[in-house]
């Protein structure tokens, strides 16, 4: 179905005010009890908490938050629509309940308490000696209980999670029975789950939007969401006949009311201009009924994931679509996450594109950085953190970028199921200068185009180095690079302007050096393994006995062997030049790891819960 048609950061308080606040909190903490009146009242203003996400599939827990960069803190508002006997909310490395950093609300049936806690490797809860989830208030409203609390990005408490850029795995658990103490909570018996978000949203001012701006909705045509946990739904749409060149200048999600917890992420792809027409289709993306030609609809126009807001292009650039050399056909892909296996739920979600006929000074472009999709890059099985790196070399940027350079303003990181961390760094003259985008808690189940906090300028001769970390502990054979979901990728799709002919700037290890590795492995192996040329690279990797020696030599090979560089034009043709057996870029100076900023402590706060007056809680 197609239809045409930030608040300012608060300033830091003065030192004296901080001292007064510190004394106040210390005095309050000394009493061990804060009485938070939970009277009937109105909900806090939505503008105070601009970001919102449902935590559970039923939408009974709704999290809203705001980010204060001057205070280096996140303020949370948790709406609990049905309060049983409390809940756990927190963060962990990958969404586990073990080794988690938690804010806990619990009740013994008469009295309610709030406290900052942590769980150990066995899932046992402990009150934190440093109470860093600061309760700001609790308020009953007709729709439920609002819990307001604050947490600094970094607390310098070894038991606390460091909130940083990128993906954060939020966890929740509902207490369905009264508990007499925090230690009595059995984490493994909780009804709970996880939600992934980007907590630290960039503080970007919204650009001026033109008066002639129009909008177009690319939405699912009232589909019935299949009653299974995971569905990728594909729908073909098309632009009007004779649609001239326009610039997309922003887009936002359109989510059917009531389905906020089911619509996980959505993307709009433009089809290849090589075909005059594409068949209509409305159905699961993995169906045998899906026409083969839809696989040629891969050019991303818009991507949204749960918790993201509207995406804005910089004032001086827009994403071109329409006109000569541009396909009229678009493919909408929606990922439905339906863990409760709800039946008969109808959906018309999608993405609303805002566009203008008044073209901006620059066309925006999308460039692929990282590793070439090839089996020569592989990860041994049983690895907890194996690193692969792809290079966009100085030789390629020197040849392909304009003398004034390009400006990267957004980025979408991408791996398959084994990916755990992704980072792209800009290097100039052998010195790392700037992180383009990094995600230390990356999840392949949460991929969105993220606006960067600051635009990154890339000049001819610069290098863009993309490093991915993988975990293959659950695999018994090697994982090779490729398109399959059990194969791997390491990609950063960077959004930049002005658009150039350079569409892909990636690398892979030189195949000749990999062949030498296979020969070496064969000589050290007792059993004869056929490493002959007629055996495919994946088969050779699958036949390797993965002892420490073979693992370490492969790791070393990727760290020193020459590379094959793909410096490709939009037509998938390489720029002229010698691109085989290129030396690895030499890095003489690394970026320093930023040291966490510890907030001023309001004084020693005893590890004691805060008593809340919520009235007597009972089973819902």
Residues with a catalytic annotation lie at 232, 414
CA distances from 221 to 3, 224, 281, 335, 349 (A): 11, 9, 11, 15, 8
- Count of CB atoms situated within 10 Å of the CB of 95: 19
Distant-in-sequence, close-in-space partners of 413: CB < 8 Å, separation ≥ 6: 422, 437, 439, 442, 447, 491, 492
Q: What is the largest CA-CA distance in the chain?
A: 77
**What is the number of helices (H) and of strands (E) in the chain?**
5, 38
Helices 548-560, 511-524: crossing angle, 10 deg rounding: 160
Enter the DSSP assignment of 426: E
Kindly give the pairing relationship between strand 502-509 and strand 365-371. Answer: parallel
Calpha distance 217→304 (Å, rounded): 14
Cβ–Cβ under 8 Å, residues 119 and 125: yes
If DSSP codes are grouped into helix, strand and coil, which group holds residue 302?
Answer: strand
Structure tokens at 126: 């402990």
Q: How many CB atoms lie within 10 A of CB 240?
A: 11
Q: Rounded to whole angstroms, how far apart are CA atoms 302 and 319? A: 10
The owner of tokens 């064969």 is 522
One-character DSSP codes across 83-152 = -SSEEEEEEESSS-STT-EEEEEEE-SS-EEEEEEEE-TT--EEE-SS--SEEEEEEEETTEEEEEEEEE
185 to 101, 106, 232, 547: CA distances (angstroms):
15, 9, 37, 42
Closest among 276, 200, 112, 235 to 609, alpha carbons compared: 112
Structural tokens at position 243: 């649609």
């Amino acid at each position: 179905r197609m239809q045409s048609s930030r608040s300012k950061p608060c300033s830091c308080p003065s030192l004296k005010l901080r001292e007064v606040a510190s004394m106040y909190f210390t005095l309050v903490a000394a009493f061990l009890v804060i009485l938070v009146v939970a009277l009937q009242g109105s909900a806090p203003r939505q503008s105070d908490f601009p970001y919102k996400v449902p935590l559970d599939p039923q939408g009974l827990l709704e999290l809203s938050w705001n980010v204060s960069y001057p205070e280096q803190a996140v303020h949370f508002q948790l709406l609990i629509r049905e309060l049983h006997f409390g809940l756990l909310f927190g963060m962990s490395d990958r969404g586990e309940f073990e080794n988690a950093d938690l804010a806990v609300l619990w009740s013994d049936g008469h009295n309610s308490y709030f406290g900052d806690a942590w769980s150990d490797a066995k899932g046992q809860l402990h009150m934190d000696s440093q109470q860093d989830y600061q309760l700001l208030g609790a308020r009953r409203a007709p729709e439920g209980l609002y819990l307001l609390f604050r947490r600094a990005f970094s607390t310098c408490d070894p038991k606390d999670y460091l909130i940083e850029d990128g993906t954060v795995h939020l966890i929740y658990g509902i207490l369905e029975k009264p508990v007499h103490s925090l230690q009595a909570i059995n984490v493994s018996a909780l009804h709970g789950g996880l939600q992934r978000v980007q907590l630290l949203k960039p503080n970007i001012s919204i650009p001026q939007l033109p008066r002639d701006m129009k909008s177009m909705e690319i939405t699912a045509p009232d589909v019935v969401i299949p009653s299974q946990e995971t569905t990728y739904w594909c729908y073909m749409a098309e632009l009007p006949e004779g649609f001239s060149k326009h610039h997309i200048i922003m887009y936002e999600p359109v989510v059917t009311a009531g389905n906020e917890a089911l619509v996980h992420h959505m993307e709009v792809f433009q089809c290849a201009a090589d075909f005059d027409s594409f068949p209509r289709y409305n159905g699961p993306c993995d169906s045998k009924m899906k026409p083969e030609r839809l696989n040629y609809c891969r050019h991303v126009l818009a991507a949204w994931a749960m918790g993201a807001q509207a995406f804005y292009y910089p004032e001086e650039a827009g994403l071109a679509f329409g006109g000569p050399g541009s396909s009229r056909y678009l493919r909408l892909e929606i990922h439905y996450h339906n863990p409760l296996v709800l039946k008969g739920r109808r959906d018309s979600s999608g993405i609303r594109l805002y566009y203008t006929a008044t073209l901006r000074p620059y066309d925006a472009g999308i460039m692929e950085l990282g590793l070439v999709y090839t089996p020569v890059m592989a990860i041994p099985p049983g690895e907890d953190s194996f690193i692969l790196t792809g290079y966009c070399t100085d030789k390629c940027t020197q040849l392909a970028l304009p003398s004034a350079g390009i400006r990267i303003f957004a980025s979408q990181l991408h791996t398959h199921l084994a990916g755990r961390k992704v980072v792209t760094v800009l290097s100039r003259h052998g010195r790392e200068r700037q992180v383009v985008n990094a995600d230390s808690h990356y999840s392949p189940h949460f991929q969105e185009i993220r606006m960067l906090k600051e635009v990154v300028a890339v000049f001819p001769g610069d290098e863009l180095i993309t490093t991915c970390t993988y975990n293959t502990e659950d695999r018994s054979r090697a994982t090779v690079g490729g398109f399959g979901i059990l194969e791997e990728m390491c990609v950063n799709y960077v959004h930049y302007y002005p658009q150039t002919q350079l569409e892909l700037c990636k690398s892979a290890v030189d195949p000749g050096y990999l062949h030498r590795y296979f020969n070496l492995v064969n000589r050290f192996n007792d059993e004869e393994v056929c490493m002959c040329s007629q055996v495919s690279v994946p088969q050779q990797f699958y036949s390797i006995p993965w002892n420490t020696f073979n693992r370490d030599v492969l790791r070393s090979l990727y760290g020193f062997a020459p590379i094959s560089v793909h410096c490709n034009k939009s037509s998938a043709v390489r720029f002229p030049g010698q691109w085989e057996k290129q030396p690895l870029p030499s890095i003489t100076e690394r970026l320093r790891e930023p040291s966490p900023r510890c907030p001023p402590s309001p004084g020693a706060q005893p590890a004691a819960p805060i008593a809340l007056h919520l009235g007597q809680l009972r089973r819902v």
